[in-house]
Structures are given as C-alpha cells and as structure tokens.
Amino acid sequence: MQQMLKQAQKMQQQIAAAQAELAAAELTGTAGGGLVTVTISGTGEIRAVKIDPKAVDPEDVETLEDLVVAAVHNANEAVRNLTEEKMGPVTGGMGGLGLPGF
C-alpha cells in the first residue's frame, strides 16, 4: 500500500510538471500559406492572431473568416500533439480511465 501511495505521488508530480510545461508552451497554427497565423498556449488559450494584409479583401470576408478558423484548428492540433507527447508517458495511456484533463 505504501508503494502504491509513493507511485501515485510520483505520478501526480509528473503530471503537474507536464501541465506546467504545457501552460508555458506557445504553439502556432497557420492557414492560407501563412496568410493567417494563430499563436496559442499549450493549454489552448489563444494569445495572438496575425493576418497578412494580402488576406484582407472587403469583397470576400468569408474567405478570411475561413482562414482564421483553419489557423485556429491547426493550432489546436499542435496543442493536442504536444499534450499527447507530454502527458502520454506520464499517464501511460490511462486517459480512458476518466482522469480529468486527459
């Protein structure tokens, strides 16, 4: 029982360290060949959106909106990949056990 408690504490420390790394990470997503760039934290908080003036066409706002959405999706995919990379080894595939945040 003591050994299980130590393992659980170690895992909790590893999870906290991985979560801190994710919170500090900044990832980018792009769309339209770099016309739209979204910077996002490892926890999914959007920190910046950059739009190249070439992407701005008052006659075609819908395309720009689509590019922003695509860039956000691209950035979120980068977050998912980083989360899997950081948390996977710690949780050992235990995401299916209903652990919060996994």
pLDDT, tens only, 15-67: 888 888 888 899 999 999 999 999 999 988 999 999 999 999 999 999 999 99
> Which has the minimum average pLDDT: 2-11, 64-73, 87-96?
87-96
Tokens 């919170």, residue located: 23
0.75 cut: is pTM over it?
no
Looking up tokens 């934290």 gives: 41
Terminal-residue alpha carbon distance, the chain? 25
